[in-house]
Amino acid sequence: MFRDRKAAGVELGKKLLAYRDRPGALVLGVPRGGVIVAAEVALALELPLDVFLARKLRAPGERECGYGAVTELGNVFIDPALACAAGAGERDRSRELQLQRQEIDWQRRLYRGTRGLPPVKGRFILLVDDGIATGSTTLAAVEGLRAAGAKEILVAAPVGEVDALLRIASEADGCEVLETARDFRAVSEHYREFLPVANVEVLACLSGGHPQRRAPSPSPW
């Protein structure tokens, strides 16, 4: 169990030191919690940091249960078995997809302003999140980055569910975690402190600063 996301990022950065000299390497954190971890990784490896916007598609009435994901590059990943188990019909999926695309547009303006995603074509991408449960968000991100021309994609997280990691490893060029779990219920169970991450914390990480508070930060959606 990790103390918090920052401490987990420090430990993950130590594990990933072998990748610090990859030419053109870029660290991308998945907001919001993944950016806190990614900031420590980028610091340890002395690499540039940015966000990669990917949003979970949530089951009807279940905010924590996901069956797929959509990314800022427009690609959509849906796990048919999870969607069926979640009772997400075509209308539910369409509504949720529209909602998460709006959220991505809002996050893009907040975190980058007028900037777009940094060029990824031909680059080594280190994709970081604070934990991997079903793997849907990560698989969508890998698929999108691959289509955008990333030369190599390494997925990294402090903790991940075993079967999800196996699926990700078959799609990405590598997958590095500190801990694995088979009876995986929630990422939060692997942290002593897992408070909601405020947007001000994400912005501080992206600007190279240090977050001053930990508090929920709701989006318009």
Q: What is the CATH number of the domain that holds 173?
A: 3.40.50.2020
Question: First CA to last CA across the chain, in angstroms?
Answer: 32
What confidence tier does 209 reach under pLDDT thresholds 50, 70, 90? Answer: low
Check whether 51 has a pLDDT greater than 80.
yes
Check whether 157 has a pLDDT greater than 90.
yes
- Please check whether residue 202 lies inside any domain of the structure: yes
- Please check whether residue 43 lies inside any domain of the structure: yes
pLDDT digits (tens, 9 = 90+) for 76-116: 999 888 888 888 888 989 999 999 999 999 999 999 999 99
- Please check whether residue 16 lies inside any domain of the structure: yes
User: What pLDDT, on the 0 to 100 scale, is given for residue 85?
Assistant: 85
- Please check whether residue 215 lies inside any domain of the structure: no
User: What pLDDT, on the 0 to 100 scale, is given for residue 82?
Assistant: 86
- Please check whether residue 214 lies inside any domain of the structure: no
User: What pLDDT, on the 0 to 100 scale, is given for residue 215?
Assistant: 35
Check whether 58 has a pLDDT greater than 90.
no
Q: What is the pTM of this model?
A: 0.91
- Please check whether residue 68 lies inside any domain of the structure: yes
76-114 burial, b at 16+ Cβ within 10 Å, e below that, comes to bbbbeebbeebebeeebbeebbeebbebbeebbeebbee
Full DSSP string of 102-161: HHHHHHHHHHHTT--PPP-BT-EEEEE-S-BSS-HHHHHHHHHHHHTTBSEEEEEEEEEE
Q: Count of domains in the chain? A: 1
What residues make up the domain containing 159?
Answer: 5-206
- Please check whether residue 163 lies inside any domain of the structure: yes
User: What pLDDT, on the 0 to 100 scale, is given for residue 219?
Assistant: 42
User: What pLDDT, on the 0 to 100 scale, is given for residue 155?
Assistant: 98
User: What pLDDT, on the 0 to 100 scale, is given for residue 212?
Assistant: 40
pLDDT digits (tens, 9 = 90+) for 10-38: 999 999 999 999 999 999 999 999 999 99
pLDDT digits (tens, 9 = 90+) for 105-156: 999 999 999 999 999 999 999 999 999 999 999 999 999 999 999 999 999 9
C-alpha dist (Å) from residue 120 to 35, 56, 63, 116: 18, 22, 31, 11
Average pLDDT score, the chain:
91
Check whether 214 has a pLDDT greater than 60.
no
